[in-house]
Amino acid sequence: MNMTDIFSLKGKIAWITGGSYGIGFAISQAYHEAGATVVYNCRSALDASQKAYKAAGIPAHGYVCDVTDENAVNETLANIEKEVGAVDILVNNAGIIKRIPMVEMSAADFRQVIDIDLTGAFIVSKAVIPGMLKKGAGKIINICSMMSELGRETISAYTAAKGGLKMLTKNIASEYGEFNIQCNGIGPGYIETPQNAVLRERQADGSRHPFDNFIVAKTPAARWGITDDLKGPAVFLASRASDFVNGHILYVDGGILAYIGKQPK
Cite the active site residues.
Answer: 158
Residue of 88, 265, 87, 91 lying closest to 186 (CA atoms): 91
Q: Indicate the angle between helix axes 70-83 and 120-135, nearest 10 degrees.
A: 40
Residues comprising the chain, all counted: 265
Query: CB–CB of 259/218 below 8 Å?
Result: yes
CA–CA dist 29, 19 (Å, integer)? 10
CA–CA dist 54, 258 (Å, integer)? 39
Q: What is the maximum span of the chain, computed from C-alpha positions, in angstroms?
A: 62
Query: CB–CB of 40/76 below 8 Å?
Result: no
